[in-house]
Structure 1
Amino acid sequence: MPAVGEPLVQTRDLSKIFRVGDSRVVALNRVNLTIPRGSFTAVVGTSGSGKSTLLNMLGGLEKPTAGEVFVAGQPLHRFSESQLVTYRREQVGFIFQSFNLLPQLTALDNVALPLSFRGIPKRTRQARARAVLAQLGLAGHLHHKPTQLSGGQQQRVGIARALAVQPTLVFADEPTGNLDSRTSEETLTLFRAVIRRFQQTWIMVTHDRHLASFADTIVSIGDGRITDITQTEHAQTAPAVATQKVAP
Structure 2
Amino acid sequence: MHAVLNVSGYCFARLDDPHALRDVLLEAAAQRHLKGTIVLAHEGINLFLAGSESGIESLLTIIRAQPGLQGFDTKRSWSQSQPFRKLLVKVKAEIIRMNQPAIAPQEGRAPAIHARTVKRWLDQGHDDEGRPVVTLDTRNAFEVDHGTFDGAIDWRLHKFSDFPAALHAHKGELEGKTVVSFCTGGIRCEKAALVMREAGLDHVWQLEGGILKYFEEAGGAHYHGTCFVFDEREALDPELLPAKG
Q: TM-score band (shorter)?
A: under 0.3
More helix by share: 1
TM-score, normalised via structure 2 length: 0.27
* Greater RCO (Cα-Cα under 8 Å, separation 6 or more): 1
